[in-house]
Amino acid sequence: MRLLGVISLVFSLAAGAASARPAADPGVSRGEVVIGGTIPLSGIAASYASVGRGAEAYFKYVNARGGVFNRRITYKYLDDQYNPAQTVQATRQLVQQERVFAIFNTLGTEQNLAVRSFLNAAKVPQLFAGSGATTFGRDYRRYPYTIGFLPSYVGEGKVYARHILRTKPNAKIAVLYQNDDYGKDLLSGFRTGLGAKRRNIVATQSYDPLSTDVSSQIARLRSSRATVFVVIATPPFAIRGLVAANRLGWRPQVYVNQVGAATNIMRIIAATAGPRIIQNAVTLISVKDPTSPRFRNDAGMRLYRQIMRQHLPSGHVNDGFHVYSMAVAHTFVEALRKAGRNPTRASLMRAVASLNVRNNPFLLPGVRVRTSARDHFPLDQGQLQRWRNNTWNPLGKVISARP
């Protein structure tokens, strides 16, 4: 009887200890971590579909090597067609029905803004938003579960302004920008960077992200007689805008923001409008270009091509958005490791706020991912590039793109 009593007590204590342990956060089990997000797989911004597919391929590569602490990463990404209303519906589905551990890599400024309050109220991490909107790094006290990834659009705008002031200080400048927080943020940084020379901006035209044509805007910009044309646009509108400029015989010095400047997009412009319109164009880049001869024997690009062959054989290996998405996925894996063997949403956010990743194989040499309790801009460096001979070529050293 005494033995039975002891056994009973042991089981009772064990049961009590088990019940005292905090329940695992949604999306985490012994063998799996489930995350989700939205990507425009169709519609006007479908060229960004590779932002989801490349990240998924990298997670498959990690899973094939044991995952993170023996947990495989399952990444569920839904099509929102670049429509914030659909982003809201899909994100609620992922959180409330699919019960994901975190929202990851959702693409678009308006799209991420549309779900930020909901995710923070639910204390669901909103990680590495596919946007450079400054608010995602600046407003972390109000939205502690949100962080972006791209260099700040304000910082990017300042970089272009400084280059223009250095090379063409008296140029007349025209700007095409997307009429939302993304476009306005970058334009604001550009104006700030010009300082007293902001009067050199002689014309600005905006476009609706769900429209289909910018020909009239380009005609108005051309009539300003600007000699510098700053394109703050996603790929479809960067293509349309520069094709329209070429059709009108306008030959300004072109600056293309990074989200519309992948080599595969530039080559579409060259093939459609002719190479002259973008000859000597300038952009800011943080990730390695899979088409660049300088990275032909680079270890990171060899790994990239290996992952594409093994886990995304139908993908276009020269699509730079695949490289960007693997850089984001690599950062998530590092954060998940740092969150510990039994990660929680809270421990993941602590990890995200203390990153120092120097070896991301998909970023340019010298560019690192770094955060702290007071610095929520993971990627704040880049390198100016000039378009020549059908590819991007380095223009100076890696520089700061802080807002």
For 107-165, what is each residue's pLDDT tens digit? 999 999 999 999 999 999 999 999 999 999 999 999 999 999 999 999 999 999 999 99
Q: What's residue 23's pLDDT? A: 57
Provide the token pair at 312: 């995304």
Note the pLDDT of residue 15.
Answer: 42
Between helix 181-194 and helix 153-167 the angle, nearest 10°, is: 40
d(CA 167, CA 227): 12
H or E element that contains 391: strand 391-394
Closest CA to 199 of 157, 232, 165: 165
Q: Across the strands, what pairs with 228?
A: 173, 253
pLDDT of residue 4: 40
Residue-wise pLDDT tens digits, 257-280: 999 999 999 999 999 998 999 999
Among the listed residues 102, 107, 155, the one whose alpha carbon sits nearest the alpha carbon of residue 344: 102
Per-residue pLDDT of the chain (403 residues; tens, 9 = 90+): 444 443 343 344 444 444 344 457 999 999 999 999 999 999 989 999 999 999 999 999 999 999 999 999 999 999 999 999 999 999 999 999 999 999 999 999 999 999 999 999 999 999 999 999 999 999 999 999 999 999 999 999 999 999 999 999 999 999 999 999 999 999 999 999 999 999 999 999 999 988 889 999 999 999 999 999 999 999 999 999 999 999 999 999 999 999 999 999 999 999 999 899 999 999 999 999 999 999 999 999 999 999 999 999 999 999 999 999 999 999 999 999 999 999 999 999 999 999 999 999 999 999 999 999 999 999 999 999 999 989 999 999 999 999 9
Write down the pTM of the prediction.
0.91
Q: Rounded distance, CA 24 to CA 293, Å? A: 47
Check if the beta carbon of residue 332 is closer than 8 Å to that of residue 127. Answer: yes
pLDDT of residue 227: 98
- As a whole number of angstroms, the distance between CA 279 and CA 38 comes to 35
Handedness of CA 338, 138, 261, 365 (dihedral sign): negative
pLDDT value at position 7? 39
Domain architecture of the chain: domains with CATH: 32-151+296-381 (3.40.50.2300), 153-285 (3.40.50.2300)
Q: With CA atoms as reference, report the closest residue to 375 among 339, 396, 400.
A: 400
